Structure 1
Amino acid sequence: MTSSLPAGLRERKKAKTRLAIREHALRLFEEQGYASTTVEQIAEAAEVSQSTFFRYFPTKEDVILIDDYDPVIVAAIKSQPPQVSHVQALVNGMRSVFDNLTEQEWDAERRRQRIYQSVPELRARALNQMVLAVDMLADALAVRDDRSGEELEYRVIAGALVGVVLAIAPPGGDEYDPRDFGRIEQALGILEEKLSRR
């Protein structure tokens, strides 16, 4: 059955529901631990049904692992001018998104990252998602050249970029600030310099 709400209002209502589910989930994870928190508890706190929860997040893990900023970053990378290098396009795309987040959005993102870093089963599953990240970035970079992300060139570049993010994350799951663009740019600069050497 199609909602009678106007499209814009319907989308805002969906975004508000998704935000409420994630916010209550984060709070419960922090208060009683990730493993001890159930989908039923999250749904009850957010005042939605469990079926509604699963429409927004396929599993409890996805509340933490799904990154809502990925599609926006991809769009920002694709919009970079063709003369900008792939590495700089990535940095510019990330900066254009992260520089416009509110403090409330940053707080939620830090909390999400903190939980992700501290729960072993989440970190283990996240390794599988890195393949998806390579796909996503390869497609974004290839579009800038009007080519396919399935081409080896773009998959290699995307894989290297994902590797940089892993390399600069502190060992032991310590918290880090994803807004630290100085460190990100330094790491990507090293990558670009080394890859360009013959």
Structure 2
Amino acid sequence: MERWGRTHEALSRAALELFAVRGYEATGTAQIAARAGVSEMTLFRHFPTKEALLLADPFDPLMAERVRTRPARETAMRALTEGIRQAWAQVDAASVEALRERLRIVALTPSLRGAVERGSEETVAALTGALVERGVSVGQARVAASAVIAGLSAALLGWARSEETAVDAALGSALDVLGGV
């Protein structure tokens, strides 16, 4: 992993450690940067906001690629739901647990209400682009991608609060509903 990736990972790890111990609101970006061994300016080169430390989504390119390569005859919603289902099947257990940890902090922090929606713009844009490449109009692609991401966000936040539900069950159920199954 190159320097940028190592620094990015160190910042993410430091943020999660400090948020878990001190809480999101009691943790400052200067503390996170110091824990990661970088300047606060470097932190903001990697993450534009403190929220972004929790909401940066490494799965966007994988999901968009899976949507892009779905069969041409599928509707936009079907391509989205099945493409995302395929992408999630490739996510390793450690990444799933890290996601749960990040989303649990979001779900339990009142000041972060709405943060998932604010942080999903890039995901919606990636999925919209994949649908447009499949021949869906920009307007319809944006509506479909926004609907799917809103539904998945609700499912993922519920999953993050729960100790019982496996991510596959939570996402599978949400994708079934969104895909009209």
Shorter-chain TM range is: 0.7 to 0.9
Instruction: Give the one of 179, 183, 187 matched to 2:168.
Output: 179
Instruction: Give the one of 145, 164, 170 matched to 2:151.
Output: 164
| 1:67 correspondence with 2:57 | yes
Counterparts of 2:98 and 2:150 in 1: how far apart (Å)? Answer: 25
Q: Which residue of 2 aligns with 1:196?
A: none
- Report matched runs for 1:131-170 at 5 Å: 133-145=123-135, 148-149=137-138, 152-165=139-152, 168=155
Query: Which piece of structure 1 moves more, 78-87 or 57-66?
Result: 78-87
SS of residue matched to 1:60: coil
Q: Tell me if structure 2 keeps the 8 A contact 1:139–1:148.
A: no
Identity of aligned residues (%): 31
CA RMSD, Structure 1 to Structure 2 (Å): 2.6
Which residue identity is paired with 1:123? R
The alignment of Structure 1 onto Structure 2 pairs a total of residues equal to: 177
Larger radius of gyration: 1
Q: Tell me if structure 1 keeps the 8 A contact 2:80–2:145.
A: no
Q: Tell me if structure 1 keeps the 8 A contact 2:81–2:175.
A: yes
Per the TM alignment, residue 112 of structure 1 is displaced from its structure 2 partner at its CA by 0.8
Q: Tell me if structure 1 keeps the 8 A contact 2:148–2:178.
A: yes
SS of residue matched to 2:3: helix
**Which stretches in structure 1 are left out of the alignment for 5+ residues?**
1-8, 194-198
Q: Which residue of 1 aligns with 2:46?
A: 56
Q: Which residue of 1 aligns with 2:106?
A: 116
Q: Which residue of 1 aligns with 2:73?
A: 83
**Structure with higher RCO (Cα < 8 A, 6+ apart):** 2
Deviations 1:12-44 (A, max 9, x none): 332222111101101110111001111111111
Which residue identity is paired with 2:168? R
Counterparts of 2:172 and 2:76 in 1: how far apart (Å)? Answer: 17
Which residue identity is paired with 1:161? V
Q: Tell me if structure 2 keeps the 8 A contact 1:39–1:50.
A: yes
**Which stretches in structure 2 are left out of the alignment for 5+ residues?**
none
